């Protein structure tokens, strides 16, 4: 009788199981990264914790659904839906976030929390409460053998897409003039404005970019799983845990936080089944207590 | 004859008025207004469902089932000559919210009866409130057996199968199949534990040769990612898996399991993954050959005595809502029809009268008929399991074929067993098969 993998511990578990779990962890880390990257970016530059970030993530699926209905193409949806949402994000920033600029940060927090509820109602109004999902394109269905494990092609595509996105964002911020302008605006908005940086416009652009990333992730997530309007709030919990662990405003922190959460989720299950979700939030609490600015975040002056 | 009747009515009304006047001497005026309510006032039916959250479709169809029942009843002259009015509340799949909404329906809206409830955790918390708020619930969806066994109180009735019955009927279907190594993936609360416990304990009794694996998956309700649970389960190489996933959780589970080729290797038994919300959501992606009972109601498979009734129900539902009726809609429709029957039998909508009338009453659901047992208020009806097959009508891509019926008395724990467990309290014996939580 085959009892491979029946033990609770890691030692003695079969290599296929371990490899698959590593791939699962990295897949989940890529979801999380696309969700958290924009959140962290927006916070890093605008100093606004956008509670509606998860709602914009879920909106990526809903808008993507309508794009697929009109164009019939998942690939068009993968890029067009984030573009549409980036435009919506820019509009939100100009209309709602900008006027709160010099107010206490809790105002923006409460406002964006209110947006979650509005988004949920919009989802219900236009798309209903039914479970929604996107079908994967044919070329990405089925499995591919990697490291001796048959793994779903779509999950591998997800990993590649997240890696590409984070690399592009990093190159943009470090190697382009626009990127330098953004970093200048993030570091010291007043000095940046004095030397001619159009700070308000930079903020709008960054908010749009952050929204693009999360909506892009939303289309991918909606193809792996399914959403109901309720996901707008639930996703936010995870995004929040990641940026707190990694450090709010830190991009390497978002990467590290995502990987940590992915691995904790996948392997926590082997160690203590049923506790893996709690692990993520235990780690978050520990980071908050021991290193309040996150693993890779900078302490505020 | 007519004369006698009308005289009797007027006498009763006179008594009522004089009673109210007498009562007025001792009770506050606010209550007096209630006592002299006229016959023209509508009968109020409160309905509680999960209208938001991962199982929001179940709440939506529950509401639709209630609306159709009330439309039919009102067109037919109402209940005791009074029109019926629906008051709907959302429990958000949260036990505390459900309990609060039940109190609100009873105390503020002053409904005459409460129907519905999708989530077992919510039902259990509502049940505790009922004696205090002096209302009955006619449960139409949530299946937890605990509610009619250990946590029984006289205010809960149920018009559809509970998880013991669903599990036991599944075991009877599975006993002739060759699968030997069994495991489970189910949400880690009452509904998940009971569905698996009942299924596997009955199967073990019928088939002592089966092996029950220690590697089991118990994710939280509403947790969207099952990938690593599935990887771990797959590595344990079960022949068959029982699942109590439902709603959005079931959709996520099936999508993920299909991509990992799990359905090519492992047989899959689940009451609620075959429910209509999941079939609609997944379309062509829904795997063929899964074993299910569609949460105890499949609109294409009524019992032989209900063919015509079921057909007209399905047609009316389809016409009004442009979809086939889900088990949760069917159950709620049946609950309100049963309420009408009880109210007419008792000639009253008072809680105590309704309780007396409902004990032992026949339930004429569109798809099956049954009887509510006096001792535990649980309906006993026949249950059919089948397998998912290709289907193409009204937006559905999968249906249920190879349907096999089991008689209600064979799938229901006998009364003495239920009473014994109620007396003993604690968990049912089958919890011994729940491992690795």
Residue A301 lies in a domain: no
Nearest in space to B429 (alpha carbons), one of B200, B143, B148, B122: B200
Residue A15 is predicted with a pLDDT of 85
- All residue ranges of chain A with pLDDT < 50 are 1-9, 11, 301
Nearest CB among A17, A150, A230 relative to B261 is that of: A150
Nearest CB among A6, A13, A28 relative to B225 is that of: A28
Residue A275 is predicted with a pLDDT of 66
Mean pLDDT computed over B154-164: 97
Mean pLDDT computed over B30-43: 58
Please report residues of A whose CB lies closer than 8 A to that of B54.
Answer: 228, 230
Please report residues of B whose CB lies closer than 8 A to that of A6.
Answer: 213-215, 236
Nearest CB among A2, A14, A226 relative to B281 is that of: A226
Determine the Cα–Cα distance for residues B372 and B282; give it in Å rounded to an integer: 35
CA A69 to each of CA A62, B6, B54: distance values in angstroms, whole numbers, following the listed order:
11, 63, 23
* Closest alpha carbon within chain B to A223: B255
Determine the Cα–Cα distance for residues B161 and B137; give it in Å rounded to an integer: 15
Determine the Cα–Cα distance for residues B113 and B91; give it in Å rounded to an integer: 17
3-state helix, strand, coil in chain A (%, to 5): 75, 5, 25
Residue A129 is predicted with a pLDDT of 85
Residue A273 is predicted with a pLDDT of 65
Residue A186 is encoded by which pair of tokens?
């993030």
Residue A7 is predicted with a pLDDT of 43
CB under 8 Å to A48, separation ≥6 — which residues? A42, A97, A105, A108, A112
Residue B225 is predicted with a pLDDT of 85
Residue B223 is predicted with a pLDDT of 79
Mean pLDDT computed over B306-325: 97
* Closest alpha carbon within chain B to A229: B53
Q: Which of A15, A135, A273 to mutate to test the interface with B (most CBs of B within 10 A)?
A: A273
Contact flag A277-B220 (C-beta cutoff 8 Å): yes
Mean pLDDT score across all residues of chain B: 91
Contact call for residues A39 and A50 (beta carbons, < 8 A):
yes
Please report residues of A whose CB lies closer than 8 A to that of B278.
Answer: 131
Mean pLDDT computed over B41-69: 95
Q: Residue by residue, what is the 3-state secondary structure of A91-119? A: HHHHHHHHHHCCCCHHHHHHHHHHHHHHH
Residue A19 lies in a domain: no
Neighbour count for residue B323 (Cβ, 10 Å): 19
Contact call for residues B328 and B294 (beta carbons, < 8 A):
no
Task: Please give, rounded to a whole number of angstroms, the shortest distance from the CA of A185 to a CA of chain B.
Answer: 38
Which tops the pLDDT comparison, B220 or B422?
Answer: B422
Q: How confident is the model at residue B97 (pLDDT cuts 50, 70, 90)?
A: very high
Cα–chain center distance at B13:
38
Please report residues of B whose CB lies closer than 8 A to that of A16.
Answer: 235
* Closest alpha carbon within chain A to B60: A129
Contact flag B217-A273 (C-beta cutoff 8 Å): yes
Residue B38 is predicted with a pLDDT of 52
pLDDT at residue B21 above 60?
no
Contact flag B251-A129 (C-beta cutoff 8 Å): no
Domain span at A68: 34-229
Residue B360 main-chain phi, psi, to 5 deg = 85, 5
Domain residue extents for chain B: 1-38, 43-162+303-381, 165-301+383-433
Residues of chain B with pLDDT > 70: what percent? 91
Q: Judge whether A66 is closer than 8 Å to chain B, CB to CB.
A: no
Restricting to A residues 202-261, those with a Cβ less than 8 Å away from any Cβ of B are 224-231, 234
Residue A284 is predicted with a pLDDT of 85
Fold (CATH) for B43-162+303-381:
Rossmann fold (3.40.50)
Task: Please give, rounded to a whole number of angstroms, the shortest distance from the CA of B285 to a CA of chain A.
Answer: 8
* Model pLDDT for residues B350-406, shown as the tens digit of each residue: 999 999 999 999 999 999 999 999 999 999 999 999 999 999 999 999 999 999 999
Instruction: Among 3.30.930.10, 1.25.40.10, 3.40.50.2300, 3.30.530.20, name the CATH number for the domain at B165-301+383-433.
Output: 3.40.50.2300
Contact call for residues B176 and B248 (beta carbons, < 8 A):
no
Contact flag A226-B232 (C-beta cutoff 8 Å): no
Contact call for residues B114 and B135 (beta carbons, < 8 A):
yes
Contact flag B248-A228 (C-beta cutoff 8 Å): yes
Determine the Cα–Cα distance for residues B56 and B50; give it in Å rounded to an integer: 5
Nearest CB among A150, A269, A274 relative to B228 is that of: A269
Nearest CB among B220, B227, B229 relative to A27 is that of: B227
Task: Please give, rounded to a whole number of angstroms, the shortest distance from the CA of A68 to a CA of chain B.
Answer: 16
Contact flag B52-A6 (C-beta cutoff 8 Å): no
Q: What's the residue count for chain A?
A: 301
Rg of chain A over all Cα atoms, to the nearest angstrom: 20
* Closest alpha carbon within chain A to B93: A230
The domain total for chain A is 1
Please report residues of A whose CB lies closer than 8 A to that of B58.
Answer: none
pLDDT at residue B153 above 50?
yes
Task: Point out which residues pair with B139 in neighbouring strands.
Answer: B116, B158
Restricting to A residues 161-180, those with a Cβ less than 8 Å away from any Cβ of B are none
Least confident of A277-291, B39-53, B305-319: A277-291
Task: Please give, rounded to a whole number of angstroms, the shortest distance from the CA of A142 to a CA of chain B.
Answer: 7
Contact flag A5-B215 (C-beta cutoff 8 Å): yes
pLDDT at residue B19 above 60?
no
Contact call for residues B362 and B190 (beta carbons, < 8 A):
no
Task: Please give, rounded to a whole number of angstroms, the shortest distance from the CA of B259 to a CA of chain A.
Answer: 6
pTM of the model: 0.86
* Model pLDDT for residues A29-50, shown as the tens digit of each residue: 999 999 999 999 999 999 899 9
pLDDT at residue B328 above 70?
yes
Nearest in space to B409 (alpha carbons), one of B379, B365, B387: B379
Least confident of A284-293, B202-211, B319-328, B340-349: A284-293
pLDDT at residue B434 above 80?
yes
* Model pLDDT for residues A229-253, shown as the tens digit of each residue: 888 888 888 888 888 898 888 889 9
Residue B35 is predicted with a pLDDT of 44
Rg of chain B over all Cα atoms, to the nearest angstrom: 23
Restricting to A residues 127-156, those with a Cβ less than 8 Å away from any Cβ of B are 128-133, 135, 143, 150, 152, 154-155
pLDDT at residue B20 above 70?
no
pLDDT at residue B297 above 70?
yes
Determine the Cα–Cα distance for residues A275 and A286; give it in Å rounded to an integer: 16
Residue A63 is encoded by which pair of tokens?
């808008």
Residue A5 main-chain phi, psi, to 5 deg = 75, 15
CB under 8 Å to A165, separation ≥6 — which residues? A33, A34, A37, A213, A216
Q: Do domains B43-162+303-381 and B165-301+383-433 have the same CATH topology?
A: yes
Residue A17 is encoded by which pair of tokens?
């199981």
Contact call for residues A219 and A64 (beta carbons, < 8 A):
yes
* Closest alpha carbon within chain A to B259: A152
Between A and B, how many residue pairs show a Cβ–Cβ distance under 8 A?
118
| β B267-269/B240-243 pair status | parallel
Please report residues of A whose CB lies closer than 8 A to that of B285.
Answer: 135
DSSP string, B2-35: HHHHHHHHHHHHHHHHHHHHHHHTTS-HHHHHHH
Residue A13 is predicted with a pLDDT of 66
Nearest CB among B216, B227, B281 relative to A24 is that of: B227
Task: Please give, rounded to a whole number of angstroms, the shortest distance from the CA of B378 to a CA of chain A.
Answer: 30
Locus of tokens 């993998």 = A5
Contact flag B237-A4 (C-beta cutoff 8 Å): yes
Helix (H, G, I), strand (E, B) or coil at B175: coil
Handedness of CA A149, A151, A153, A156 (dihedral sign): negative
């Amino acid at each position: 009788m085959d009892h491979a993998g029946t033990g609770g511990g890691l030692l003695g578990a079969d290599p296929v199981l371990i490899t698959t779990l590593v791939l699962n962890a990295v897949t989940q880390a890529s979801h999380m990264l696309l969700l958290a990257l924009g959140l962290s970016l927006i916070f890093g530059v605008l100093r606004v914790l956008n509670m509606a970030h998860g709602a914009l993530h879920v909106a990526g699926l809903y808008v993507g659904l309508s794009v697929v209905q009109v164009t019939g193409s998942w690939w068009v949806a993968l890029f067009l839906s984030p573009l549409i949402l980036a435009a919506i994000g820019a509009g939100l920033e100009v209309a709602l976030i900008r006027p709160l600029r010099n107010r206490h940060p809790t105002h923006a927090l409460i406002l964006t929390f209110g947006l979650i509820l509005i988004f949920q109602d919009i989802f219900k109004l236009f798309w209903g409460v039914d479970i929604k999902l996107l079908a994967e394109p044919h070329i990405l269905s089925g499995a591919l053998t990697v490291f001796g494990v048959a793994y779903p092609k779509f999950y591998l595509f997800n990993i590649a897409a997240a890696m590409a996105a984070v690399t592009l964002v990093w190159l943009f911020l470090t190697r382009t003039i626009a990127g330098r302008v953004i970093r200048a605006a993030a570091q010291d908005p007043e000095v940046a404005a004095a030397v001619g940086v159009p700070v308000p416009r930079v903020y709008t652009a960054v908010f749009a970019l952050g929204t693009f990333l999360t909506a892009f992730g939303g289309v991918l997530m909606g193809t792996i799983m399914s959403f109901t309007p309720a996901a707008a709030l639930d996703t936010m919990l995870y995004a929040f845990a990641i940026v707190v662990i990694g450090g709010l405003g830190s991009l390497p922190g978002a990467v590290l936080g995502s990987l940590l959460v992915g691995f904790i989720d996948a392997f926590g299950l082997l160690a203590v089944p049923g506790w893996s979700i709690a692990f993520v939030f235990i780690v978050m609490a520990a980071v908050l207590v021991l290193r309040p600015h996150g693993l890779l975040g900078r302490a505020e002056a | 004859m007519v004369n006698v009747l009308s005289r009797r009515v007027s006498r009763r009304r006179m008594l009522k008025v004089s009673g109210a006047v007498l009562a007025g001497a001792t009770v506050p005026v606010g209550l007096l207004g209630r006592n002299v309510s006229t016959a023209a006032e509508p009968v109020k039916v409160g309905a509680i469902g999960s209208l938001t959250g991962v199982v929001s479709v179940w709440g939506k169809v529950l509401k639709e089932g209630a609306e159709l029942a009330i439309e039919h009843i009102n067109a037919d002259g109402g209940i005791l000559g009074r029109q019926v009015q629906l008051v709907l509340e959302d429990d958000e799949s949260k036990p505390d919210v459900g309990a609060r909404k039940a109190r609100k329906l009873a105390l503020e809206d002053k409904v005459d009866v409460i129907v519905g409830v999708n989530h077992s955790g919510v039902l259990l918390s509502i049940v505790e409130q009922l004696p205090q708020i002096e209302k009955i619930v006619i449960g139409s969806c949530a299946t937890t057996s605990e509610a009619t066994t250990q946590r029984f109180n006289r205010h809960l009735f149920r018009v559809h199968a509970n998880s013991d019955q669903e599990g036991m009927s599944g075991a009877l279907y599975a006993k002739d199949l060759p699968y030997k190594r069994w495991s489970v993936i189910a949400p880690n609360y009452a509904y998940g534990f009971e569905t698996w416990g009942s299924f596997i304990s009955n199967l073990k009794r019928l088939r002592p040769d089966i092996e029950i694996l220690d590697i089991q998956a118990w994710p939280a309700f509403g947790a969207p990612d099952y990938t690593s649970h599935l990887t771990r389960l797959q590595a344990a190489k079960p022949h068959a898996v029982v699942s109590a996933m439902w709603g959005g959780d079931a959709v996520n589970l099936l999508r993920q399991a299909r991509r990992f080729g799990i359905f090519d290797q492992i047989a899959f038994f689940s009451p609620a993954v075959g429910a209509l919300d999941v079939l609609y959501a997944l379309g062509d992606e829904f795997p063929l050959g899964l074993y299910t009972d569609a949460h105890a109601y499949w609109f294409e498979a009524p019992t032989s005595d209900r063919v015509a009734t079921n057909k007209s129900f399905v047609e009316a539902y389809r016409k009004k809502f442009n979809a086939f009726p889900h088990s949760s809609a069917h159950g709620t429709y049946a609950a309100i029809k049963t309420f009408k029957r009880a109210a007419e039998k008792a000639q009253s909508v008072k809680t105590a009268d309704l309780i007396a009338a409902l004990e032992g009453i026949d339930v004429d659901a569109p798809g099956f008929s049954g009887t509510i047992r006096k001792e535990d208020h649980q309906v006993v009806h026949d249950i059919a399991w089948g397998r998912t097959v290709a289907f193409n009508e009204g937006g559905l891509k999968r249906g249920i074929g190879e349907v096999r019926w089991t008689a209600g008395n064979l799938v229901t724990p006998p009364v003495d067993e239920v009473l014994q467990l109620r007396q003993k309290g604690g968990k049912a014996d089958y919890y011994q098969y729940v491992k690795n939580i």
